[in-house]
Amino acid sequence: MTHTLIIHSSARKTGSVTRDLSRTLAETLGGTVTERDLADGIALIDEPWIGANFAGDAATDADHARLAGSEELVAELEAADTIVIGLPIYNFSVPAALKAWVDQVARARRTFRYTETGPEGLLTGKKAYLVVASGGVPVDSPVDFATPYMRHLLGFIGISDVTVIGADAAMVRGDAARAEAEAAIAALAPAKAA
> Is residue 25 a contact partner of residue 131, using CB atoms and an 8 Å limit?
yes
Residues 6+ apart with CB under 8 A from 4: 26, 29, 31, 32, 33, 34, 80, 81, 82, 83, 84
Any binding-site annotation on 93?
A: no
Which residue blocks in the chain are alpha helix, DSSP H? 17-29, 47-53, 61-66, 68-79, 96-105, 146-156, 170-173, 175-186
If one counts every other C-beta atom within 10 angstroms of the C-beta of residue 183, the result is 10
**3-state helix/strand/coil string of 71-126:** HHHHHHHHHCCEEEEEEECECCECCHHHHHHHHHHCCECCCEEEECCEEEECCCCC
The number of C-alpha atoms within 13 Å of 39 and in the hemisphere containing its C-beta is 15
Pairing between β-strand 118-121 and β-strand 32-37 as defined by DSSP bridges:
unpaired
Sequence ranges of the binding site for FMN:
10
Sequence ranges of the binding site:
10
